[in-house]
Amino acid sequence: LATKKDQQEKKEDDVAEKMAKLKASGQGMVVCRICKGPHWTKQCPYKDTLGVALDVQQEEANAVKPPVRAPGAYVPPSIRKGEPQDSQTRQRDENPTIRVSNLAEETSEKDLQDLFKPFGPVSRIYLAKDKNTGISKGFAYITYNRRESAETALQTLHRYRYGHLILQVEWAKPSGS
């Protein structure tokens, strides 16, 4: 019968054997990224001297290079050269859009159409709604064909009492920001 002391020695021998195998294979050991020594990078004695040189090499390696595309690979229209971009998307960004907030939950697109149509032709109305319930989230975007119409609507309806709330109307920020 093996005693506890014998079992403990056997476990220690197994651990030492496993550690020797790990050291021999080079896996599982701590290796410094700067000098490749057997210590943590944070504790590297050469990090002040070699670290700067390695950072420069890293920046050069990570420099932005134009992507190399295989012939026949799909290229999105926004990246294609010499071809016109989607005119609808470009036109939407150029058209004057105002953001209306503080809308009641019961507000519908028809209500917004009735409210904003008198100032000029409206090209698009987007009323933000909850996906599950279909209830208004309280804001909308109104796109006009002419900037003058949008300005008039903005000046007239900013702080306008609509229902039991007071509307906040402002220029919409571009979609990229």
Confidence of residue 72 (pLDDT cuts 50, 70, 90): confident
- pLDDT at 13 (0 to 100): 85
Mean pLDDT on 87-92: 51
Q: Is 55 helix (H, G, I), strand (E, B) or coil?
A: helix
For 19, 101, 127, the CA distances from 22, given in Å and listed in that order, are 5, 63, 62
**Per-residue pLDDT tens for 101-155?**
999 999 999 999 999 999 999 999 999 999 999 999 999 999 999 999 999 999 9
With beta carbons less than 8 A apart as the criterion, state whether 154 and 169 touch: yes
CA distance 146 to 142: 12
Res. 160: pLDDT tops 80: yes
**pTM for the whole thing?**
0.50
Res. 1: pLDDT tops 60: no
- pLDDT at 165 (0 to 100): 93
With beta carbons less than 8 A apart as the criterion, state whether 116 and 122 touch: yes
Torsion, CA 155, CA 157, CA 161, CA 166, rounded to 10: -80
- pLDDT at 16 (0 to 100): 79
Confidence of residue 68 (pLDDT cuts 50, 70, 90): low
Exposure string (b/e) for 72-81, b if CB count within 10 Å is 16 or more? Answer: eeeeeeeeee
With beta carbons less than 8 A apart as the criterion, state whether 98 and 141 touch: yes
- pLDDT at 59 (0 to 100): 63
Q: How many CB atoms lie within 10 A of CB 6?
A: 10
Res. 51: pLDDT tops 80: no
Residue that has been written with the tokens 């599982």 in this structure = 28
Which pair of tokens denotes residue 171?
A: 């220029």
From start to end of 5-118, where are the E strands?
A: 97-101
